[in-house]
């Protein structure tokens, strides 16, 4: 290895550094690290927020001009210097050590609430063995003469989630007490993570065959079931029909650029650490394109699954809305029971509006449009409880595997206890909104600057070093390629834009 690296003083001479058993193990580890809640939870939510297909356009543009170049940089620099995230930037320059520490801090914060979502998954999974399901019907009131009024008003799923699971407080100022059922699930989640990373890549590489592939099995089962449900076609039509006017909103482009970081797990430091266990001659350019495309196709695959189910739910809600209006018409105008079908309702309503408009206006008829139910943003919280488990280890562990895995898991677990409080859902929303978005863009920009203007200058100081860099596997063009320069300029624009508008946009939202 020393011969392959030449005389480069920046390269870490670690002959005993562990290596992946095979290329497939490395690819699955990167896919398992990248594919997770950002693909299965956050991506479909943003698609639904911005009208389906309109979000796909800026997302794939950002993938080409932002995601793949940045991903290539991280794999290349990790493989070239063979160190973790913090060690790589300290090796390049002592002044860039803060980049590694910053990426580690963001990874730590995100891992806390990502694993909290997984404890919710575990809680719903345990409750799914009951019959009937606890969220299928409203509980009886204290007198056992009827159902709880709050449940009837909010719905069975929302009542089970906010009252019986979270037991949520009225606001974040009211902390509340620890929900012990969630606390025990949190213990189980972090214990599982510890078992996955107890021996570094030796244990992670073995368990990754299951953790990286199992989500695809679950998604496929959900997809087959979702496509057989009535209304699935309407949901998929909504997903792939872009509303071009939405593209005039700069917020769409900013969220698409930010989603690339969540989707590919860029600027977290994990991919740098994974690439550092590769042989120096590995083709990291091909790996970057392959993993990025698999990751994005997974996001689209998950969206198809979720929107098929969302179309089914919207169709049911739309049907119940029509049934309520039909029942009001039958009672008011003495029509025979079952004399008006859902298909006949528009014609009957038009006839009554022309003949008995005043009488019709007094009825509490609801406005029923299928698209309104597809636009209804109430499924974000529910979808959190249906997310398959993501790859191991979570974000806070990958950049710091040289540290004690047990100590890291313990610190993460203790820090995440706040999410098991009655006010935990409010804290999770804060973390989700403010912990990563601007920070990831800033650190990615610093990574580009560090590779091009610091490491790149040192790599090009002599012909001997340029030949050494080429022999090492990752081409020297990684330090000065036009795509990286373009990416750096783009990141600067996004940084300036987000600094000036992000705060105002969030306040408006």
Instruction: For residues 410 and 191, give the distance between their C-alpha atoms in angstroms, rounded to a whole number.
Output: 9
For residue 275, which of 446, 90, 76, 31 has the smallest C-alpha distance?
76
| Average pLDDT for 21-33 | 87
Q: What is the pTM of this model?
A: 0.74
Q: Confidence class of residue 459 from pLDDT cuts 50, 70 and 90?
A: low
76 versus 503: the higher-pLDDT residue is 76
Domain regions of the chain by residue span: 2-147+197-311+377-402+434-508
Q: Which residues does 286 contact at the CB level (< 8 Å), separation at least 6?
A: none
**Over the range 401-410, which residues count as b (16 or more CB within 10 Å of their CB) and which as e?**
beeebeebbe
pLDDT score recorded for residue 357: 84
187 pLDDT exceeds 90? yes
Q: Confidence class of residue 106 from pLDDT cuts 50, 70 and 90?
A: confident
120 pLDDT exceeds 50? yes
467 pLDDT exceeds 80? no
pLDDT score recorded for residue 16: 64
| Average pLDDT for 148-166 | 86
Half-sphere exposure of 317 (CA within 13 A, CB side): 20
Q: State the Cα angle at 311 between 305 and 317, rounded to 5°.
A: 140
Tens digit of each residue's pLDDT (9 = 90 or more) over 217-272:
989 999 999 999 999 999 999 999 888 888 888 889 888 888 888 788 888 888 99
- Per DSSP, 246 falls in state G
378 versus 93: the higher-pLDDT residue is 93
Q: Confidence class of residue 4 from pLDDT cuts 50, 70 and 90?
A: very low
Q: Are 244 and 13 in contact (CB under 8 A)?
A: no
Instruction: For residues 35 and 251, give the distance between their C-alpha atoms in angstroms, rounded to a whole number.
Output: 24
Query: What spatial distance separates the first Cα and last Cα of the chain, rounded to whole Å?
Result: 53
How much is the mean pLDDT over the chain?
79
447 versus 496: the higher-pLDDT residue is 447
């Amino acid at each position: 290895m020393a011969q392959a690296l030449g005389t480069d003083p920046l390269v870490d001479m670690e002959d005993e550094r562990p290596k992946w058993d095979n290329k497939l193990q490395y690819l699955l580890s990167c896919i398992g690290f990248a594919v997770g809640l950002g693909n299965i939870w956050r991506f479909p939510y943003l698609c639904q927020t911005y009208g389906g297909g309109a979000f796909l356009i800026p997302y794939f543009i950002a993938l080409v001009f932002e995601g793949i170049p940045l991903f290539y940089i991280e794999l290349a620099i990790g493989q070239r210097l063979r160190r973790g995230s913090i060690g790589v930037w300290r090796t390049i320059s002592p002044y860039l050590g803060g980049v590694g520490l910053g990426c580690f801090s963001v990874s730590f914060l995100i891992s806390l609430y990502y694993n909290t979502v997984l404890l919710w998954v575990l809680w719903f999974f345990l409750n799914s063995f009951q019959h009937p399901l606890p969220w299928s019907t409203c509980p009886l009131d204290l007198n056992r003469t009827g159902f709880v009024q709050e449940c009837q008003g909010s719905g069975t799923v929302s009542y089970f989630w906010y009252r019986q699971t979270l037991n949520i407080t009225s606001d974040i100022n009211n902390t509340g007490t620890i929900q012990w059922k969630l606390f025990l699930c949190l213990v189980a989640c972090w214990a599982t993570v510890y078992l996955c990373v107890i021996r570094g890549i030796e244990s992670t590489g073995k368990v990754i065959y299951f953790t990286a592939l199992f989500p695809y099995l679950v998604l496929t089962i959900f997809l087959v079931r979702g496509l057989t449900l009535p209304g699935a076609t309407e949901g998929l039509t909504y997903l792939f029909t872009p509303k071009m006017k939405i593209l005039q909103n700069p917020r769409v482009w900013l969220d698409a650029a930010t989603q690339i970081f969540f989707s590919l797990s860029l600027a977290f430091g994990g991919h740098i650490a994974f690439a550092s266990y590769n042989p120096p001659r590995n083709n990291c350019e091909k790996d970057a394109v392959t993993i990025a495309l698999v990751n994005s196709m997974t996001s689209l695959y998950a969206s198809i699954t979720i929107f098929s189910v969302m179309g089914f739910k919207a169709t049911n809600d739309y049907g119940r809305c029509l049934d309520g209006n039909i029942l009001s018409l039958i009672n008011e105008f003495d029509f025979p029971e079952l004399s008006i079908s859902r298909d006949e309702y528009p014609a009957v309503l038009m006839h009554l509006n022309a003949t008995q408009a005043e009488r019709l206006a007094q009825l509490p008829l609801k406005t029923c449009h299928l698209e309104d139910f597809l636009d209804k943003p109430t499924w974000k919280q529910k979808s959190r409880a249906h997310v398959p488990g993501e790859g191991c280890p979570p974000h806070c562990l990958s950049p710091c595997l040289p540290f004690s895995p047990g100590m890291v898991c313990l610190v993460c677990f203790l820090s995440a206890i706040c999410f098991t409080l009655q006010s935990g859902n409010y804290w999770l929303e804060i973390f989700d909104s403010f912990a990563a978005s601007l920070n990831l863009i800033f650190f990615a920009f610093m990574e580009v600057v560090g590779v091009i203007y610091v490491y790149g200058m040192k790599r090009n100081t002599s012909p001997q070093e340029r030949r050494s860099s080429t022999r090492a596997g990752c081409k020297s063009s990684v330090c000065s390629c036009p795509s990286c320069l373009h990416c750096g300029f783009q990141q600067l624009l996004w940084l300036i834009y987000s600094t000036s508008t992000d705060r105002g946009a969030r306040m408006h939202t």
